[in-house]
Amino acid sequence: MNIDILLGKTKEHLVPLEGTKFFVHQQMLHDFLKLQQSAKKDGFDLQIASAFRDYDRQLSIWNAKARGERQLLDDQERPLDFSLLSPTQIVFAILRWSALPGCSRHHWGSDIDIFDGNSQNASEVKLVPSECIANGPAARLHEWLDVQLAHKKAFGFFRPYDTDQGGISPERWHLSYYPISRRVIDVYTFSVFKKNILESEVVLKEVILEHADEIFQRFIMSFDLP
């Protein structure tokens, strides 16, 4: 597999999603449209909030958070005081919510973040857990999706971050297309990860490298399977 696909440095594997600004893996498009149509039949407007995200975009997100230019949150979605955090605490606080550049599943074109367009405008979507449970605007959509996943009717999609395994915070809104993402993760080795960090312009690189083994295991290799 082309390493540039793993790292989000190419669009060769992507096609545009008609009527949107998003790109997805060409082999995923058909099954996504089937999932979207299935949701529509049951009264939901399953829309994408985020799809393919390239390396440079992920780098800008990470570096802004690492410099204190973007808000960091704790596990309860509460703002953290950047000035009180050590460099190591900053790195792990970012990792709970955002991937390192070159390490995001969104690079692969197989992963999307979703919301219910019937209950929320795209500009209102925050992609936080409270949106997906109880009285949250996407709660009913995710209750519906729970059933589809349980009965193997989600057309190959699953939630890689459905439960908290001590790495990335649970993300009910994050769907992955298993036929593609499984193949990608099989070739995403520690050496690929470390070489990417060494060659990057990522802020707090020294801290990341110091904890490279832990980060790789907790935030890249730790996820739920369908």
Q: Which domains does the chain have, with CATH numbers?
A: 3-219 (3.30.1380.10)
Q: Is 25 helix (H, G, I), strand (E, B) or coil?
A: strand
**pLDDT band for position 4 (cuts 50, 70, 90):** very high
16-50 pLDDT, tens digit each: 999 999 999 999 999 999 999 999 999 999 999 99
To the nearest 10°, the Cα dihedral for 152, 115, 175, 107? 150
Q: Percentage of the chain with pLDDT > 90? A: 99
Q: What is the largest CA-CA distance in the chain?
A: 51
139-182 pLDDT, tens digit each: 999 999 999 999 999 999 999 999 999 999 999 999 999 999 99
This prediction has a pTM of 0.95
pLDDT computed for residue 14 by the predictor:
98
Q: Is 98 helix (H, G, I), strand (E, B) or coil?
A: coil
Q: What gap in Å lies between CA 183 and CA 120, rounded to an integer? A: 33
Kindly provide the b/e burial profile for residues 96-121, where b requires at least 16 CB atoms within 10 angstroms of the residue's own CB: bbbbbbbbbbbbbbbbbbbbbbbbbe
pLDDT computed for residue 1 by the predictor:
80
pLDDT computed for residue 85 by the predictor:
98
Is residue 175 within 8 A of residue 157, CB to CB? The reply is yes
pLDDT computed for residue 13 by the predictor:
96
